[in-house]
Amino acid sequence: MRLGPFRAAAPLLGLVALLGSAWAEDLPSLGGERLAGVDVDVRPLLALGGGVPALALREDLLSALKAEFADRLGGRGPLLLVRITGLSINPYAGGDGGRGRLGGGTQSDYLDGEALLIGRRGEILARHPQLSAVPSSSGGAWYDPASERRRVTAIAQHYAGWLRRALPQD
């Protein structure tokens, strides 16, 4: 019996997720303090030849972070810096290869990075690695030329939304 690529990779992905959470530091409570600001660093992507998609991602992710953390910005607390180390926008030509209505497709886009809380003196107070995955169909119709750009926006919003959940409320 031949396993699909996702089923074959599932144990490895589970191990990676488990190890990643073991290495992650819990983001500390800010004790009611508001963040001094948010920023996005895509230099690792640019160093790998990320070019225009990396710059578009920076713009989208910065906008999404400002929206997600709007009620927690403007204070004297730490800076939230998101350093992006990987972006994978996979080829997508419609359909997901699933059976019936249950899906089963394996075409996903990935955004990998870490959130750093930077203190006033530039010290790293905490780091939180995070990997986001969204369906490659998140940009809408695959034949629309603007689809890939919308996919970058969608994964940036997804990443920011989950990061918001990771930072304690108080």
Q: Report yes or no: 84 and 42 within 8 Å, Cβ to Cβ.
A: yes
53 lies in some domain:
yes
137 lies in some domain:
yes
Average pLDDT of every residue of the chain: 81
Q: What is the edge-to-edge ordering of all strands in the sheet holding 108-118?
A: 37-41, 79-88, 108-118, 124-135
* pTM assigned to the model: 0.76
Q: Which two tokens stand for residue 154?
A: 């969608």
Query: 22-81, pLDDT tens digit by residue?
Result: 344 566 667 678 999 999 999 999 999 988 999 999 999 999 999 999 999 999 999 999
Q: Report yes or no: 38 and 159 within 8 Å, Cβ to Cβ.
A: no
17 lies in some domain:
no
Q: Which domain holds residue 38?
A: 34-166
The total domain count for the chain is 1
Q: Alpha-carbon dihedral of residues 101, 156, 13, 43, nearest 10 degrees?
A: 150
91 lies in some domain:
yes
CATH number at residue 131: 3.40.50.10610
Q: Alpha-carbon dihedral of residues 100, 102, 103, 106, nearest 10 degrees?
A: -120
21 lies in some domain:
no
